[in-house]
Structure 1
Amino acid sequence: MTEPAITTDDVNPLNPVHPPLTVTSVEQAPLRVWKFWGTALWGLLVFVAMFVGQVGAILLLVAMRGLPLDMDSIQSVGREPQALALSVIMGLPATLAAVWLAIRLKKASFVDYLALHWPTWRQLLLGAAGLILVVMTWEIVSRSLGREATPGFMTDLLKSGRDKGAALLLLFAFSVAAPMSEEVLARGFLFRGWSASFLRVPGAIILSSLVWTAVHLQYDLYFLAEVFSIGLWFGYMRHRANSLWLTIVLHALNNMTAVVLTMWLGS
C-alpha cells in the first residue's frame, strides 16, 4: 500500500505532520586574513602603535611635571619604575586598537582572527609543563656558566620599584599588560597571517618568535636565545590548542614568577 503524495498545501507551518522543509548550511566562509606581506606591514604598524603608546605615556608625565620636552627629561623620567610601568601599560590599548583596525579592514571576526578561545585544562597543564621544562633547562645552563638567571638591569629595576612603592604597578605591567600586548602581536596577529601564507605553521612559529625576540633587544644574546626558545614553545602551543588565551596565560605566569622571585624572594 503506497502513502499519499505530499502536496504543497500539506507543507505549511501549521501542519504538525509535514513541517516546512528547511536547509541548513554547515559550511562556514573561510576567515579572511592578511597574508605574508600584508601581515608584515600591518605588524610593523602595530609595533609602531605600541611604541607610540609607550613613549606617549612618558611624554605625558614629562609635560605634567612641567619639564622641558628634551631627551634628558624623557630619559630621566623613563628610568623611574612608576613611569616605566605606566609606559608598558599604555602600550596595550595602542596595540589592541591597531590590531582591531587591521582585522576590521578584512571584515573578519576579532575573536576568530586572534583565536581568542579558552583552552582546556589539559592544554593549560601541558603548556605549563613545557614552559617549566624550557625555563629550568636555561636555569641549569645559567648556573653551570656562572651567569645570572635574570638580567641585571631588570633586577635593579624591580627591586628599585619595590623600594619606591611601585611593586604592584610593575607587577601588573609585566604580568598582564606586557604579555597581552606581545601575544596579540606575535602569536595572535603575526602567526595568523603568516601561517596562512607560504610559510605555513612551522615558518610562522619561527618568524613570529624571531619578531617577539626582537622586541626584547635590551637583553644580551644569551637571554635573547632563551626568549626565542620560549617563543617557539608558545607558538607550538598556540597552534596545537588554537588558543591565544593559552599563550597569554603562560606568558603571564612566566613573567609573574620572575617578578615575584626577583622583588621579594631573590637575594
Structure 2
Amino acid sequence: MDSLNPEHPPLTMTPADHAPRVWRFLGTALWGLLIFVAMFVGQVGAILLLAALRGLPIDMASIQSVGREPAALALSVIMGLPATLLAVWLAIRIKKASFVDYLALRWPSWMQLLFGAVGLILLVLAWETVSRSLGREATPGFMTDLLKSGRDKGAALLLLIAFSVAAPMSEEVLARGFLFRGWSASFLRVPGAIILSSLVWTVVHLQYDLYFLAEVFTIGLWFGYMRYRANSLWLTIVLHALNNMTAVVLTMWLGG
C-alpha cells in the first residue's frame, strides 16, 4: 500500500488548503470600509473632473458648487459603481473565490420576485400611512427639490439612471452582497448579518433625518431577508431599483 511505503507518503493537508474562501467578520468589515472609500472616491472624482474641465480651482467651494448641480450629482453616483465593483472584485479575487458565487449573482424565480415586491410595497405603504398621519413628507424635501430641478434642467434621464440603476447596484453589492456574505459566515450568522448590513446601509444614507433613516433600516431588513431566502443578490438589486425608480418617477413627473 502506498500509504505504508516511505517512498510514497500519504497526502497531508496544509493550513493553506483549509483557508476559508470567505472573509469573516473582521476581514469583511475592513474590506467593507475600503469598498465604501472606493465608492466615495469614485463619486468625488467625477465632481473633481467636472470642476477641472470647467477650469475651476480644485477646492471645497468648487466641489460643493458643482456637486449641487443635478447632472453632476447624477454622474457622481454613476461613477461610484465601477469603483465599487472594482474594490469588491479585488477583495474576492484575493480569496480566490468566484465573484458570481460569492455575491450570489443568481437570477431569482418569478415567485421570489413577486413575493419580494409585494412585501416591499406593503412596507412602503405602511411608512406612507405613518408619514401622512404625522403630517410628514413621504420624500425628503431636498430630494424633491433635486429631482424636480433635474427635470427642469434636462437631467431627468441621467438622474433616473443614477438612482434607479447605479445606486441600487453599488449599495446592494456592498451591503447585501459583500457584507452579508462574509458576516453570515461569521459568529453573527444570518440574523446578525441581516441586521448589521442593514445598519451599514442606513449609515450610507445619513443625509436623511432620523425618521427616514428608520424607514431605510426597515427596508434594509426586508432586502436582507429576501437575499437570504432567495439566495440571490439580483433579487434585492431589482427590488431596490424598483423602489428608487418609483420614487424618482412619482417625484419628478407626478409631484408625489
Shorter chain as denominator, the TM-score bin is over 0.9
CA deviations on 1:63-86 (whole Å, 9 max, x unpaired) are 000001111111000000000000
Q: 5 Å matches for 1:114-263?
A: 114-263=103-252
Q: Which residue of 2 aligns with 1:97?
A: 86
Letter in structure 1 aligned against 2:57: P
CA deviations on 1:179-201 (whole Å, 9 max, x unpaired) are 00000000000000000000000
Which residues of structure 2 form unaligned runs of 5+? 1-17
Q: Structure 1 length as normaliser, TM-score?
A: 0.88
1:76 pairs, out of 57, 65, 72, with 65
Q: Structure 2 CA distance, aligned partners of 1:130 and 1:110?
A: 28
CA deviations on 1:134-193 (whole Å, 9 max, x unpaired) are 100000000000000000000000000000000000000000000000000000000000
Letter in structure 1 aligned against 2:104: A
Percentage of matched positions with identical amino acids: 89
C-alpha root-mean-square deviation of aligned residues, in Å? 1.1
* Matched positions, count: 239
Q: Which residue of 2 aligns with 1:43?
A: 32
Q: How far 1:31 sits from its partner (Å)?
A: 6.9
Q: Structure 2 CA distance, aligned partners of 1:246 and 1:209?
A: 16
Larger Rg: 1
CA deviations on 1:220-247 (whole Å, 9 max, x unpaired) are 0000000000000000000000000000
**Could you say which structure has the higher helix fraction?**
2
Q: Which residue of 1 aligns with 2:55?
A: 66
Letter in structure 2 aligned against 1:116: L
Q: Structure 2 CA distance, aligned partners of 1:187 and 1:107?
A: 20
